[in-house]
Amino acid sequence: MSENLSYTVRSIAELEGHSDRAWNLAWNPKHPLVASCSADKTVRLYSYGVTTASALEPSLSFKTNQTIHTEHLKTVRAVAWSPSGRTLATASFDSNVGIWEQERDERDDEEDEDGQTGSLGSGDWECVGTLEGHETECKSVAYSPTGTLLASCSRDKSVWIWEVQPDAEFECMGVLLEHSQDVKCVAWHPHEDILASGSYDDTIKLYVDDPSDDWYCFTTISGHESTVWSIAWSPCGRYLASASDDKTVRIWAYVDVNPNSNSDNNRILQIKPPSAMTNSHGSGRWVQVAVLEGGERSVYSVAWGKGKQSEGGLGWLASAGGDGAVRVWDVQEPEAGSVVLKPKLVASYPEAHGVYDVNCVSWNPRPGLEDVIATAGDDGSVKIWRVVPSSK
């Protein structure tokens, strides 16, 4: 593979500790913490600190914070932080979703005005709730960007939507049985209350809340030739990327079908709930706007971050999969009048976890650290990388 890529993926840290494969990881959106979950039924938290060794490149140092020995009886398959950064949700193969919060002692309350506490305190994480309802293994869990909704999906082909109420109470808002097979992943749109799910049945479905308080599937996106393992919305909210067992990463957009729109108009429409969508631009439909070769094997995870490009753009798309390599694409706006995206591969790191599969890849969401990426692999370790411009 040619090494003339404009960026390099540089290893920053290797966090070991899990005794079995690490399935998933999540960066805390407000605090310098990253959580990883594993088949060994635990969730490990690592905290990091930013030290400005040089003005250009603040370096990060990681250390193990805690291990949460969850009460799950089986593998913990996914973790997700709430947008406030205070609650952690875990999805497990024992078909339950666990909700975890840190024990608060009085000292924490004092530091509350300043949201910049270095760490969340050192209390133990305790289980404040268990969401039961799925019949078989839970595969993924995700908080909506407002933090009011939590979605979970499972091998029993259903997607459950829960409303987060004060005091860690959850109320089930909807059970969606639209997929014909195992649902592998769920992801919320960054601005609207729209949920996307990917499944073993090769489709992606989008759901929205009907005013009469019923969630329903308003569109199905087909095109992948095999299981959709992972989905990620673009930060601008107009594109959806998906990673599949068919070794590709595809990007989808909602496009105006009106051929008379003048070329200045971006034909790619803002994604809005269907009730609002029909008002503008007539009707649109979902089309595939890019296909990326994700490697020689299945792509298990895709993540879309803001990235640190000097000019604008739609962000950086990272993928990881069975061939062990981590790839990063730079996505730019399409040319005027066209809807086709041409993401450019800017960085690649083969064998990120040695011979092991990489199960998850995720961008750091906190400001200033948009070039930091983490991966979790079958070797049980979590590795932290930084995407830096290649030295010329």
Q: How far is CA 282 from the centre of its chain?
A: 31
Q: Which amino acid is at 282?
A: G
The residue among 38, 7, 104 whose CA lies nearest residue 376 is 38
Bridge partners of residue 233, in order along the sequence: 240
Say whether residue 65 binds another protein (CB under 8 A). Answer: no
Residue 213 binding another protein, by CB under 8 A: yes
| CA distance linking residue 277 with residue 26, whole number of Å | 32
d(CA 150, CA 89) in angstroms, rounded, equals: 9
Residue whose CB is less far from another protein, 73 or 175: 175
Q: How many residues bind another protein (CB under 8 A)?
A: 22
Residue with smaller CB distance to another protein, 112 or 171: 171
| Number of other CB atoms surrounding residue 135 within 10 Å | 11
Tell me the window of 72-80, 170-178, 300-308, 313-321 that interacts with another protein (CB under 8 A).
170-178
User: Looking at 167-175, 227-235, 277-285, 339-347, which segment touches another protein (CB under 8 A)?
Assistant: 167-175
DSSP structure class, residue 61: E
Least distance (Å) between residue 166 CB and another protein: 10
CB 100 within 8 A of CB 51: no
Smallest distance from another protein to CB 134, Å: 9
Do 161 and 140 contact (CB within 8 A), yes or no? no
- Sort strands 22-27 and 33-38 into parallel, antiparallel or unpaired: antiparallel
Residue 87 has φ and ψ, to the nearest 5°, of -120, 145
Among 109, 214, 225, 296, binds another protein (CB under 8 A): 214
- DSSP bridge partners of 304: 317
Instruction: Give strand pairing partners of 176.
Output: 159
Minimum CB distance to another protein smaller for 6 or for 216: 216
Query: Which listed range, 33-41, 172-180, 194-202, 345-353, lies at the site for another protein (CB under 8 A)?
Result: 172-180
Smaller CB separation from another protein, 173 or 291: 173
User: Contact between 177 and another protein (CB under 8 A)?
Assistant: yes
- Asked if 338 interacts with another protein (CB under 8 A), we say no
Residue 135 is a binding residue for another protein (CB under 8 A): yes
- Min dist CB 159 to another protein, Å, is 10
Position 73 contacts another protein (CB under 8 A)? no
The answer to the question of residue 197 lying near another protein (CB under 8 A) is: no
Residue appearing with tokens 């913490």: 33
Task: Give the interface segment with another protein, choosing from 128-136, 321-329, 333-341, 352-360 (CB under 8 A).
Answer: 128-136
Alpha carbon distances (Å) from 244 to 200, 201, 294, 299, 355: 9, 11, 9, 5, 20
**Per CB under 8 A, does 194 bind another protein?**
no
Q: Is position 132 an interface residue for another protein (rule: CB under 8 A)? A: yes
Q: Which residue ranges make up the site for another protein (CB under 8 A)? A: 129-133, 135, 158, 160, 165, 167, 169-178, 213-214
